[in-house]
Amino acid sequence: MNKLITALALWAAASLVYAAGGHGPALLDANVNLGNKTSLQRGARLFVNYCLSCHSAQYMRYNRMAADLGLSEEVVKDNLMFASDKIGDTMTIAMKPDDAEKWFGVAPPDLSVIARSRGADWLFSFLNGFYLDETRPTGVNNLYFPDTAMPHVLSELQGLQVKHDADEQAGDHGGHAGPSLELESPGKLSPVEYRQATRDLVSFLVYVGEPAKLVRYRIGFWVIAFLLVLLVAAYLMKREYWKDVH
């Protein structure tokens, strides 16, 4: 447990060092919509198929996810549960932190609150920022997280990108363009479809980071409606009390 905490601290520290070193490329807009349950369901499918083998979400239970996303427990058991057979279990992985550290150099962090710590835009940019780099052990690097130890697990969907270094731009005011990525080898999805897939995945991670947000959205609607009705009643009462003052 102590090693896992240490690994997470080092991972976060490395990210802060990178952030302090410069502004980096502009983040992409994730445009998350937690009201779209179909998107959240697609994101859950991507998470369990591509992320859950290495990254856990140990604070999320399968039965809570089923209830929040409008899925039956049977559908979740048949399609989204590969590491457990109990619907009340949390989304953990079989890989031990010590083994992960030996294989990857650092234990992959739990993703329960990654969206709250990193932000949806950063996650979306990260998933779209992989490019070929022969100098890296995994063969890829990331525009938004240089020297990341994570392989491009979604490469079969996106394909492989190459990075073009920054070029000086001509213009009246000058300027400097940042590095850009270009798709070299297409994957199973078109660029538009891949953007939507990663948006679905990020939306699911945002939900996992704070499942109660969906409940707040539902309650918030009725609270606002109640306040509007109360406002009308208070206004009519005020008119009734003050009609004889003048």
Q: Are 107 and 7 in contact (CB under 8 A)?
A: yes
Could you tell me which CATH class the domain 2-210 is placed in? mainly alpha
Which of the two residues, 236 and 217, has the higher pLDDT score? Answer: 236
Sign of the C-alpha dihedral, residues 182, 186, 192, 193?
Answer: negative
pLDDT of residue 5: 44
Residues sharing a CB contact under 8 Å with residue 29, sequence separation 6 or more, in sequence order: 121, 124
Q: Is 119 left (phi over 0), alpha (psi -120 to 50) or beta?
A: left
Q: Are 145 and 151 in contact (CB under 8 A)?
A: no
In the chain, what percentage of residues exceed pLDDT 90? 59
Closest of 207, 206, 181 to residue 194, by C-alpha: 181
Is residue 83 very low, low, confident or very high in pLDDT (cuts 50, 70, 90)? confident
Stretch 193-204: mean pLDDT:
98
Residue 13 has pLDDT above 50, yes or no: no
Stretch 39-63: mean pLDDT:
94
pLDDT of residue 176: 56
Residue 79 has pLDDT above 50, yes or no: yes
Helix pair angle (120-127, 191-209), 10° resolution:
140
- What is the chain's mean pLDDT, rounded? 85
- For the chain, domain boundaries: 2-210, 213-246
pLDDT of residue 144: 96
Sign of the C-alpha dihedral, residues 173, 178, 184, 189?
Answer: negative
- The pair of structure tokens assigned to 188 is 């199973």
Pairing of strands 159-164, 140-142: unpaired
Closest of 238, 15, 21 to residue 148, by C-alpha: 15
Q: How far apart are CA 188 and CA 144, in angstroms?
A: 23
pLDDT digits (tens, 9 = 90+) for 123-146: 999 999 999 999 999 999 999 999
